[in-house]
């Protein structure tokens, strides 16, 4: 197939095969990430949790995704998208099964927070697609990857309530979520053995320095440091909402979390400056 042609159904073409395998990995990761959303009514009835606690679960589900996408972006540069996407699916599947086995609200909340890292799978697939497709096809390939992959949240909404009713009983939602987690684990293994980081004959570029981006001037360095602030301010706003408005975090826990955010921001700033010294 020449660079000018794009045949989405030519499955024998290695890059088309990689595209389909990768968008489905993204689809499954989103199913795992949003598996609880269409089942909240079942979870509320089974666990006897309040509307306020449901709101907290929804906030926790996205809280960890913000920093996780940055962390995963650094790791994918170092280890490669094949390894990272497989790991996200397998670990996400295991944590999802843990959510299905939770026995109280505290367990639900903690596990749901850590499940937010599954949302970072989007970053991995973007790198995989960019490695496999030439520049003139990257846009359409990434559009297919993102569009079909994002449908995973809708897939969860369509399939998991029906699966819950199929299993029946008070624990039907647990079996439905555990099924999704098991599929993610299985597909994570399949994905690892079915794709490679680059086409045959190509070399996967790994940056010599990790932990930050190299910029060309002191002005850009200052701008880069300031551009990282909104991430931490957003996380601080989530902590404030959980502590001051929903009263789910104690003042001590909230201030500890604020302090941790400040330390992480200082460390990241130090790494960025260190990388750009040369």
Q: Which domains does the chain have, with CATH numbers?
A: 14-205 (1.20.1250.20), 207-278 (no CATH)
Entry pTM: 0.85
pLDDT at site 70 = 82
Please give the share of the chain, as a percent, with pLDDT higher than 70.
95
Query: Is residue 150 a contact partner of residue 30, using CB atoms and an 8 Å limit?
Result: yes
Angle at 248 between CA 243 and CA 249, to 5 degrees: 55
Which stretch of 85-99, 153-167, 221-235 has the lowest confidence by average pLDDT? Answer: 221-235
The mean predicted confidence, pLDDT, of the chain is 88
Task: Give the least confident one: 20-29, 84-93, 131-140.
Answer: 131-140
**What pLDDT score was predicted for residue 97?**
96
Query: What's the pLDDT tens digit per position in 165-182?
Result: 999 888 999 999 999 999
Please state the rounded mean pLDDT for residues 49-62. 88
> From CA 21, how far away is CA 13, in angstroms rounded?
12
> d(Cα 156, Cα 115) in Å, to the nearest integer?
15
Residue 221 pLDDT class (50, 70, 90 cuts): confident
**More confident of the two residues 145 and 274:** 145
Least confident of 3-12, 138-147, 195-204, 235-244: 3-12
The span from the CA of 15 to the CA of 32, in Å, is: 26
Closest C-alpha among 12, 25, 275 to residue 146 = 25
Would you call 217 exposed, middle or buried from its count of C-beta atoms within 10 A (0-12, 13-18, 19+)?
exposed
CA distances from 237 to 29, 53, 59, 240, 258 (A): 26, 18, 11, 5, 10
3-class state of residue 139 by DSSP: helix
């Amino acid at each position: 197939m020449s660079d000018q042609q794009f045949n989405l159904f030519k499955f024998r073409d290695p890059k088309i095969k990689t595209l389909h395998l990768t968008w489905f990995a993204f689809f499954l990761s989103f199913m795992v990430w949003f598996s609880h959303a269409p089942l909240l009514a079942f979870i509320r009835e089974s666990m006897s949790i309040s509307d306020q606690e449901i709101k907290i679960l929804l906030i926790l589900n996205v809280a960890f995704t913000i920093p996780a996408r940055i962390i995963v972006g650094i790791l994918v540069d170092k280890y490669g998208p094949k390894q990272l996407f497989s790991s996200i699916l397998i670990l996400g599947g295991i944590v999802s099964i843990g959510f299905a086995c939770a026995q109280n609200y505290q367990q639900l909340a903690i596990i749901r927070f850590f499940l937010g890292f599954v949302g970072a799978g989007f970053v991995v697939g973007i790198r995989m697609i960019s490695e496999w497709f030439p520049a003139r096809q990257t846009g359409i390939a990434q559009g297919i990857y993102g569009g079909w992959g994002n449908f995973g949240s809708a897939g969860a909404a369509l399939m998991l309530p029906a699966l819950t009713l199929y299993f029946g009983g008070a624990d039907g939602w647990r079996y439905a979520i555990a099924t999704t987690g098991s599929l993610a684990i299985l597909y994570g293994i399949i994905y690892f053995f079915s794709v490679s980081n680059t086409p045959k004959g190509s070399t996967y570029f790994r940056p010599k320095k990790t932990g930050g981006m190299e910029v060309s001037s002191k002005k850009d360095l200052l701008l880069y440091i300031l551009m990282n602030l909104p991430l931490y301010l957003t996380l601080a706003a989530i902590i404030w909402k959980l502590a001051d408005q929903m009263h789910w975090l104690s003042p001590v826990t909230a201030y500890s979390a604020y302090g941790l955010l400040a330390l992480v921001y200082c460390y990241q700033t130090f790494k960025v400056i260190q990388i750009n010294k040369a």
